[in-house]
């Protein structure tokens, strides 16, 4: 099962965690297949959390296009496109591009079955 772990960390903490994971990978000792998404600012983290419903809608409805997703969740396509680009930029979704009846269609895909949050209290 592919798992996405979402956290909020400073850049130096995220880099340190990456170095540790790289050492483990080189030794062949990686535990489970998981992918980590670390935000270094509260604004982007809040934007991600506020729009988790979009990821859930993609998983549930498996839309064939961003337009179809916008109809399902009753959201303006322009605003949804901005959020889709944000999710793609941070690595939470992948966009598959295909041509259907001569039109280019972008299909959002969530490749994770589970999303966990790793929040530490300072």
Q: How many domains does the chain have?
A: 1
pLDDT value for 7: 87
34-39 and 3-8 beta bridge pairing: parallel
Judge contact between 96 and 63, C-beta under 8 A: no
pLDDT at 70: 96
Residue 83: what pLDDT? 96
CATH number of 33's domain: 1.10.10.10
pLDDT at 79: 95
| Residue pLDDT, tens place only, 79-91 | 999 999 999 999 9
Q: Is the pLDDT of residue 34 over 70?
A: no
User: How far is the C-alpha of 103 from the C-alpha of 112, rounded, in Å?
Assistant: 28
Examine the pLDDT at 122 and tell me if it is beyond 60: no
DSSP string over 6-29: EEE--HHHHHHHHHHHHHHHHTT-
Separation in Å, CA 64 to CA 11, 26, 82? 36, 38, 18
Q: Report residue 11 as tokens.
A: 């850049």
Domain limits at 27? 3-118
Q: Which two tokens stand for residue 116?
A: 């966990």
What's the whole-number mean pLDDT along residues 39-56?
93
Residue 47 has pLDDT above 90, yes or no: yes
Q: 115 near 121, Cβ under 8 Å?
A: no
Instruction: Report whether pLDDT(109) > 70.
Output: yes
* Span 5-28, pLDDT tens digits: 898 887 787 777 778 877 877 887
Mean pLDDT estimate for the chain: 87
């Amino acid at each position: 099962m592919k798992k996405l772990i979402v956290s909020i960390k400073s850049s130096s903490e995220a880099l340190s965690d990456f170095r540790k994971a790289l050492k483990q990978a080189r030794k062949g000792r990686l535990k489970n297949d998981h992918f980590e998404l670390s935000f270094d600012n509260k604004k982007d983290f809040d934007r991600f959390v506020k729009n988790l419903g979009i990821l859930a809608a993609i998983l549930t409805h498996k839309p064939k296009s961003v337009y179809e997703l916008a109809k399902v969740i009753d959201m303006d396509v322009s605003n949804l496109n901005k959020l889709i680009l944000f999710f793609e930029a941070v690595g939470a979704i992948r966009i598959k591009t295909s041509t259907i009846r001569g039109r280019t269609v972008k299909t959002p895909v969530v490749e994770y079955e589970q999303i966990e949050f790793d929040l530490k209290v300072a």
